Amino acid sequence: MNLEQIKQSAFKEIEESRDLKSLEGLRIKYLGRKSQLVEILHSLKDVPLNQRQKIGPVANVLKKELDELIKNRKAELREDEGSKKIDLSRPAQKISRGHFHPLTIAEEKICRIFLTMNFSVVEGPEIENEFYNFDALNIPPNHPARDLWNTLWLKTRTDADKTQIDADKTRTKADSVRENLGRNQRQSALLLRTHTSPMQIRYMETHQPPFQIIVPGRVFRYEATDASHEINFYQVEGLMVGSRVSLANFKFIIETFLKKFFGPNIKFRFRPSYFPFVEPGLEVDVWFKDKWLEVMGAGMVARKVFDAVRYNPDQVQGFAFGLGLDRLVKIKYNLPDIRLLYSGDLRFIKQF
Ligand code: FA5
């Protein structure tokens, strides 16, 4: 074979090679010590000078070309074989999926249970005014019962301006607090709702009995935190009003709810208590870790509350309750501390 023939057959075979092993065979065939090309190069020293000058450069160029061609083809074949090596029997990588927060899961579950008992779900504003959060619920200004709820008051624009003016006039703080109080009573100051009970008033103002509703929502209190207290937490208010709604109905509804939420073996008790907007008032405790944990306040809606919404207290009666969602979640998932729910710690959240 002359150089041109070697070139043609080498190029063709290298291009057509299908695996690294046969390519190596071709390398030996065309560039190995005993290959024709290398033999030609070796024998150059024996040929006359004029021929050597003609053949030498062409043979050397061809050697370089073949080297290059084999190198490139090798790289291509390696890549092909690499992709063939995917092991389809290997277990797939786990795809991590997002999910709802435990408080959301519990809220939905609670809503579903009450929906099956014919309750409707409504919601109300987180920013409330003093009238709905307190006055209409029979907690007048300066009444000691207001201390039950440590309130986060909102500074309105005029409050802020006024503080500045007061500061300018170097009046005492007590002076401005007293003035603010007087004005708030007239204007109904804004606050972050301390409970979901204001929705009792808002709902009754715009609806006529009979009805039964629940109101899930976020509430806020200015108080020290611990394993069962947060400054912001969730409640679900309940309100059922009709001509003959009784405390027995309340007890039945709550017992049914607790058994559906926790299972039939849940241990709970009703205990007398006081809230200005119910008469009689009670609280519900659930047995958790060898202790009673309070989970809700409740009672029969007070006559004064019906007065505030212009219902006739001689014609309607009803019960109301406000349950602590965080506490129910604490019991259900056996949590050491409700503050974990707000920690944003993924090691905690991912367990649900
Ligand atoms: C109330 O807020 C009343 N509005 C409940 C009510 C409604 C009574 C209707 C009568 C009629 P109380 O402050 O006790 O009551 O709170 C109710 C529930 O919220 C408590 O039983 C508890 O489960 C939960 N709770 C109260 N404070 C906190 C807090 N700081 N952190 C987490 N949960 C709380």
Per-residue DSSP letter, 209? S
- CB of 323 closer than 8 Å to CB of 236: yes
Q: Contact, 41 vs 57, CB < 8 A? A: no
Average pLDDT of the residues in 50-58: 86
**How many whole angstroms separate alpha carbon 239 and alpha carbon 219?**
17
- Pair 300, 239: CB distance under 8 Å: no
Which pLDDT tens digit goes with each residue over 253-310? 999 999 999 999 999 999 999 999 999 999 999 999 999 999 999 999 999 999 999 9
Beta strands in the chain (DSSP E): 120-121, 127-129, 152-153, 190-192, 211-220, 232-242, 268-273, 278-288, 291-301, 317-324
Each residue of 321-347: pLDDT tens digit?
999 999 999 999 999 999 999 999 989
Mutate to test the pocket of ligand 1, among 151, 191, 194, 195 (most ligand atoms within 8 A of CB): 195
Q: What is the largest CA-CA distance in the chain?
A: 133
Cα(152)–Cα(220) distance, integer angstroms: 7
Q: Which residue has the higher pLDDT, 242 or 17?
A: 242
Q: How far is the CA of 233 from the centre of ligand 1 (A)?
A: 10
pLDDT tens by residue, 182-215 = 444 456 899 999 999 999 999 999 999 999 999 9
Query: Of the listed 106, 221, 298, 308, which one is catalytic?
Result: 221
Any atom of ligand 1 within 6 Å of the Cβ of 327? yes
- Taking all residues of the chain, what is their mean pLDDT, rounded to a whole number? 90
pLDDT reported for residue 96:
82
| 303 has catalytic annotation | no
221 is an active site residue:
yes
Q: Is the beta carbon of 285 within 6 A of some atom in ligand 1?
A: no
Residue 185: the pLDDT is: 44
- 102-116 vs 247-262: helix axis angle to the nearest 10? 130
Q: Of 230, 327, 335, which is best to mutate to test ligand 1, by the most ligand atoms within 8 angstroms of its C-beta?
A: 327
Q: Which of the following is catalytic: 200, 212, 235, 317? A: 235
- pLDDT tops 80 at residue 1: no
Mark whether 187 is an active-site residue: no
Residues 99-141 pLDDT 10s = 999 999 999 999 999 999 999 999 999 999 999 999 999 998 8
CA distance 47 to 55: 10
| Ligand 1 lined by 239 (C-beta under 6 Å) | no
What's the rounded Cα separation, in Å, for the pair 230 and 237?
A: 18
Q: What is the DSSP string of 260-320?
A: HHH-TT--EEEEEE--TTEEEEEEEEEEETTEEEEEEEEEEEPHHHHHHTT--TTT-EEEE
Write down the pLDDT at residue 64: 92
What Rg do the C-alpha atoms of the chain give, in angstroms? 42
pLDDT of 313 reads: 97
3-class SS of residue 125: coil
pLDDT at 159: 60
How many CB atoms lie under 10 A from the CB of residue 321? 25
279 is in an annotated binding site: yes
Instruction: Please work out whether the CB of residue 298 comes within 6 Å of at least one atom of ligand 1.
Output: yes
Give the tokens for residue 48: 């006359």
- CB of 296 shorter than 6 A to ligand 1: yes
Alpha-carbon span 306 to 137, nearest angstrom: 9
Tell me which of 236, 278, 298, 308 is the catalytic residue. Answer: 278
Residues 6 or more apart whose CB falls under 8 angstroms from that of 125 comprise 193
Helix (H, G, I), strand (E, B) or coil at 35: coil
N- to C-terminal Cα separation, the chain: 77
Highest-confidence range of 38-42, 71-75, 118-122, 176-180, by mean pLDDT?
A: 118-122
pLDDT above 60 for 9: yes
To the question of pTM greater than 0.75 for the whole model, the response is no
Our answer to whether residue 27 is catalytic in this structure is no
- 196 Cα–ligand 1 center, Å: 9
Q: Is 278 one of the catalytic residues?
A: yes
Query: How far apart (Å, rounded) are the C-alpha atoms in residues 155 and 165?
Result: 15
Whole-angstrom distance, CA of residue 60 vs CA of residue 55: 9
Ligand 1 centroid – CA 180 distance (Å): 28
Is the CB–ligand 1 distance for residue 330 below 6 Å? no
* pLDDT reported for residue 179: 52
Residue 288 and residue 267 in contact, taking contact as beta carbons nearer than 8 Å: no
Residue 235 confidence (pLDDT): 98
Task: Return d(Cα 18, Cα 23) in angstroms, integer.
Answer: 8
